[in-house]
């Protein structure tokens, strides 16, 4: 009978010593979010309301790439991108629809938005005001970290200096006007996705925070600055090495408190505590055996929930099928249930910090802390985070190359990908949808018609006047752009008009790629063999093989393209790589001007169905008779359609062997130029 009771969790008293270890009360659960949004505001609103009904306790809004980079749906660069990786928001009516029926004064809303953060926050405040909600009651976060956009994610809109000024203006405005809002969320998440080691993630995030604080300090009264420091939050990555990831958070928190005391003179403990949310790693999620991703997600969530002194206060988990395409509502529900089980069924929240006094943890924290100090000093020696963007970008590219190489060689084992690859078919991928959500292609045309209708029906004179005031504020360094941005939002200006107005003042910008300055690859047998093949084919065709690596559209996730470009260079090819945000016309023109032998295209945003045919058509029109290879998150039916349309090869996340891909490309060039197999 006693065994039966124990099995039911009905033991009469806790095990010896448990009462001393337990907290008087359970720690409160973290804010539970799901990163979500797609298609239209109406569609996303339905998704948000459904997620809240399932127990989600905060919102995390994903915006599409045109919204993130300051373009309207009918702009040339928006082609194929509308509603794909997030929701399309062009004006205040879209924002009203997005939050319809959701009480903004009772909601904690996180918006993953950076270059256009000031604009989206203005739209959010406008919607609150027009619904009778005081802006002072609004709680949430705008990510608003532009440095990491130059380094890893690519959704920047303006050059570094004016971008940092926009961040400072937003912080200076919100500290009093929207005091519960986190106006910036220093984001190391994407640094890890771009290859950052734990030391680099800590160092580059804290260096960015320093640049932000130094920028805002002259724009607020000195007595307000401790509150500014206290509103800085972080968005951190947690990878599969979950012990090391937990140590990273402890090291980062200690450095942040030291930073506040010693550099900025902040003394109040409530402002010194580092506040951060977490999304666990997507870099390690696999297309091969995707069901394995579930246990990866659980372990990574443990890294940021196990120890009370380093527990995240907000958490969002990716879905098991992120490497396949856009998750469905059911997939997001599964990730939410993981959080709920950890918080409500386990005993994680019942105990004091379980790592307190751990010699292993203390030593690991010290190791990471010292490494981060040294790397922060390297950034400082180069003029700080803004000036050191090229240095940091190159370091990330090289770190990512080391990781990719380790996976290729089998030194870094990834179950189902490079070890234990024999498997049963996954029932999770059965069905007509293949286990992912596909955005209706008609969404884009609907959004184009909607924004054009909005422009035709508004008070154009009021919009023109507001945009004029915005331009004047942007041109005056002593002005804060937030009041003029709010006025433009209220008047009915669009996302693209706000972005175009500031581009006219601030100028355009292309971030460094990190490829040109990357060190040569370490020598190995595979690379030597690849170089020999490149030399033979180059000699046979009369000049060195030249490859154009291009990223059409607005997708800024350039990690894969950078690794292809670097490996091609290391193999002895001539490489043309101009970075992100290229139109099909520009890609075709460059292919002709440079006389390339092959074009490689990388798209991870889902816009491949529209943009790849456009590139093929432009290449034909320009007279560029060269093979085209494509890489990205591309479902099998789409890959088959592209091959039928004339693409020579399609590579997806399962194709991790970069040297093999390079070998395929050499074969393609040889075959296309009539070179025999002996040369290749």
Mean pLDDT of 124-133: 98
Q: Which of 331, 555, 570, 614 is catalytic?
A: 555
Q: What is each CA distance from 153 to 69, 219, 667, 680, in whole angstroms?
A: 11, 28, 32, 36
Q: For residue 549, what is the enclosing H or E element?
A: strand 546-550
Q: Which of 91, 551, 597, 608 is catalytic?
A: 551
Is residue 190 flagged as an active site residue? yes
Band (16; pLDDT cuts 50, 70, 90): very low
Displacement of CA 139 from its chain's centroid (Å)? 22
Q: What angle do CA 433, 439, 444 make, to 5 degrees?
A: 155
Residue 75 structure tokens: 């702009």
Least confident stretch, 150-154, 427-431, 452-456, 507-511: 427-431
The whole-model pTM stands at 0.93
Residue 563 structure tokens: 């690794």
Q: Quote the pLDDT of residue 6.
A: 34
Displacement of CA 197 from its chain's centroid (Å)? 16
Contacting residues for 51 by C-beta, under 8 A, at least 6 apart: 34, 36, 59, 329, 332, 333, 336
Q: Quote the pLDDT of residue 15.
A: 46
Is residue 189 flagged as an active site residue? yes
Flag whether pLDDT at 122 surpasses 80: yes
Is residue 417 flagged as an active site residue? no
Q: Quote the pLDDT of residue 680.
A: 58
Q: Quote the pLDDT of residue 21.
A: 73
pLDDT digits (tens, 9 = 90+) for 26-40: 999 999 999 999 999
Band (419; pLDDT cuts 50, 70, 90): very high
Distance (Å, rounded) from C-alpha 31 to C-alpha 28?
9
Q: Quote the pLDDT of residue 13.
A: 43
Is residue 5 flagged as an active site residue? no
Band (12; pLDDT cuts 50, 70, 90): very low
Spatial CA neighbour of 602 closest among 537, 666, 552: 552
Q: Which of 38, 148, 557, 597 is catalytic?
A: 557
Q: Quote the pLDDT of residue 19.
A: 53
Share of the chain above pLDDT 90, in %: 91
pLDDT digits (tens, 9 = 90+) for 623-675: 999 999 999 999 999 999 999 999 999 999 999 999 999 999 999 999 999 98
Distance (Å, rounded) from C-alpha 392 to C-alpha 389?
5
Q: Quote the pLDDT of residue 537.
A: 97
Contacting residues for 673 by C-beta, under 8 A, at least 6 apart: 537, 540, 541, 597
Is 274 within 8 Å of 249 (Cβ atoms)?
Answer: no
Q: Quote the pLDDT of residue 526.
A: 87
Distance (Å, rounded) from C-alpha 662 to C-alpha 680?
12
Mean pLDDT of 198-209: 98
Q: What is the DSSP string of 93-158?
A: HHHHHHTTT--GGG-EEEEE-STTHHHHHHHHHHHHHHTT--GGG-EEEE----HHIIIII----S
Q: Which of 38, 75, 92, 190 is catalytic?
A: 190
Q: Which of 156, 189, 264, 651 is catalytic?
A: 189
Residue 237 DSSP symbol = E
Mean pLDDT of 504-517: 93
Flag whether pLDDT at 521 surpasses 90: no
**Mean pLDDT of all residues belonging to the chain:** 94
Radius of gyration (Cα) for the chain, nearest Å? 25
Is residue 625 flagged as an active site residue? no
Q: What is each CA distance from 26 to 11, 315, 343, 570, in whole angstroms?
A: 19, 18, 10, 55
Query: What residue has token string 């004029």?
Result: 468
Is residue 678 flagged as an active site residue? no
Band (445; pLDDT cuts 50, 70, 90): very high
Q: Quote the pLDDT of residue 540.
A: 96
Q: Quote the pLDDT of residue 434.
A: 87
Share of the chain above pLDDT 70, in %: 96
Band (147; pLDDT cuts 50, 70, 90): very high
Q: Quote the pLDDT of residue 487.
A: 98
φ/ψ bin of 481: left (φ > 0), alpha (ψ from -120 to 50), beta (otherwise) = alpha
Mean pLDDT of 464-470: 98
Band (679; pLDDT cuts 50, 70, 90): low
Phi (first) and psi of residue 610, to 5 degrees: -90, -45
Contacting residues for 254 by C-beta, under 8 A, at least 6 apart: 365, 369
Identify the structural domains of the chain with CATH numbers, from first to last. 30-405 (3.20.20.240), 525-672 (3.40.50.280)
pLDDT digits (tens, 9 = 90+) for 35-93: 999 999 999 999 999 999 999 999 999 999 999 999 999 999 999 999 999 999 999 99
pLDDT digits (tens, 9 = 90+) for 363-418: 999 999 999 999 999 999 999 999 999 999 999 999 999 999 999 999 999 999 99
Q: Quote the pLDDT of residue 516.
A: 87
Mean pLDDT of 136-147: 97
Q: Which residues of 2-28 are buried (b: 16+ CB within 10 A; e: fewer)?
A: eeeeeeeeeeeeeeeeeeeeeeeeeee
pLDDT digits (tens, 9 = 90+) for 90-106: 999 999 999 999 999 99
Flag whether pLDDT at 5 surpasses 50: no
């Amino acid at each position: 009978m006693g065994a039966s009771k124990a099995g039911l969790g009905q033991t009469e008293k806790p095990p010896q010593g448990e009462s001393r270890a337990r907290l008087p009360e359970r720690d409160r659960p973290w804010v539970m979010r799901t990163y979500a949004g797609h298609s239209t505001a109406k569609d996303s609103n339905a998704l948000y309301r459904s997620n809240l009904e399932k127990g989600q306790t905060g919102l995390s809004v994903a915006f599409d790439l045109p919204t993130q980079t300051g373009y309207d749906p009918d702009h040339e660069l928006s082609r194929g991108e509308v509603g794909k990786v997030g929701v399309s928001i062009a004006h205040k009516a879209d924002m009203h629809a997005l939050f319809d029926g959701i009480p903004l004064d009772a909601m904690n809303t996180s918006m993953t938005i950076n270059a256009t953060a000031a604009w989206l926050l203005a739209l959010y405040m406008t919607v609150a005001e027009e619904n009778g909600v005081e802006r002072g009651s609004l709680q949430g976060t705008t990510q608003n970290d532009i440095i990491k956009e130059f380094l890893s994610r690519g959704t920047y809109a303006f050059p570094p200096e004016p971008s940092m000024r926009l961040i400072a203006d937003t912080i200076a405005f919100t500290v009093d006007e929207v005091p519960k809002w986190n106006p910036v969320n220093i984001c190391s998440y994407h640094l890890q996705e771009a290859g950052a080691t734990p030391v680099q993630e800590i160092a580059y995030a804290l260096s960015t925070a320093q640049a932000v604080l130094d920028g805002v300090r002259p724009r607020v009264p000195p007595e307000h600055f401790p509150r500014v420091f206290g509103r800085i939050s972080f968005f951190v990555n947690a990878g599969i090495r979950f012990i090391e990831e937990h140590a990273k958070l402890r090291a980062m928190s200690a450095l942040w408190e030291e930073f506040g005391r010693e550099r900025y003179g902040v003394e109040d403990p409530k402002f010194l505590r580092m506040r951060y949310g977490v999304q666990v790693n997507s870099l390690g999620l696999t297309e091969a055996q995707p069901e394995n991703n579930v246990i990866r997600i659980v372990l990574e969530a443990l890294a940021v929930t196990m120890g009370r002194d380093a527990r995240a206060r907000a958490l969002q988990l990716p879905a098991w099928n992120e490497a396949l395409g856009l998750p469905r509502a059911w997939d997001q529900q599964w990730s939410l249930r993981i959080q709920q089980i950890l918080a409500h069924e386990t005993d994680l929240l019942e105990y004091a910090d379980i790592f307190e006094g751990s010699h292993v943890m203390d030593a690991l924290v010290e190791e990471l802390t010292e490494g981060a100090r040294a790397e922060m000093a390297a950034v400082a020696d180069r003029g700080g985070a803004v000036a050191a963007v090229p240095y940091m970008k190159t370091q990330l590219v090289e770190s990512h190359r080391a990781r990719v190489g380790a996976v290729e060689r089998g030194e870094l084992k990834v179950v189902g990908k490079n070890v234990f690859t024999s498997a049963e078919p996954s029932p999770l991928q059965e069905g007509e949808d293949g286990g992912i959500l596909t955005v209706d292609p008609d969404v884009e045309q609907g959004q184009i018609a909607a924004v054009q209708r909005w422009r035709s029906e508004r008070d154009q004179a009021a919009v023109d006047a507001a945009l004029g005031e915005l331009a004047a504020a942007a041109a005056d360094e002593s002005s804060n752009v937030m009041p003029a941005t709010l006025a433009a939002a209220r008047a009915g200006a669009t996302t693209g008009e706000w972005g175009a107005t500031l581009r006219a003042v601030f100028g355009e910008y292309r971030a460094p790629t990190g490829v040109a300055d990357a060190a040569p690859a370490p020598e190995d047998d595979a690379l030597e063999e690849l170089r020999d093949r490149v030399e033979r084919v180059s000699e046979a065709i009369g000049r060195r093989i030249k490859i154009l690596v291009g990223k059409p559209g607005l997708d800024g996730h350039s990690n894969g393209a950078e690794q292809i470009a670097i490996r091609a260079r290391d193999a002895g090819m001539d490489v043309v790589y101009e970075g992100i945000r290229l139109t099909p016309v520009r890609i075709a023109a460059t292919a002709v001007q440079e006389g390339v032998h092959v074009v490689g295209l990388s798209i991870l945003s889902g816009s491949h169905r529209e943009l790849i045919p456009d590139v093929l058509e432009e290449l034909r029109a320009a007279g560029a008779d060269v093979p085209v290879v494509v890489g990205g998150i591309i479902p099998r039916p789409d890959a088959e359609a592209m091959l039928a349309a004339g693409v020579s090869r399609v590579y997806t996340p399962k194709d991790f062997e970069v040297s093999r891909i390079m070998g395929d490309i050499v074969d393609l060039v040889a075959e296309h130029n009539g070179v025999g197999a002996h040369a290749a």
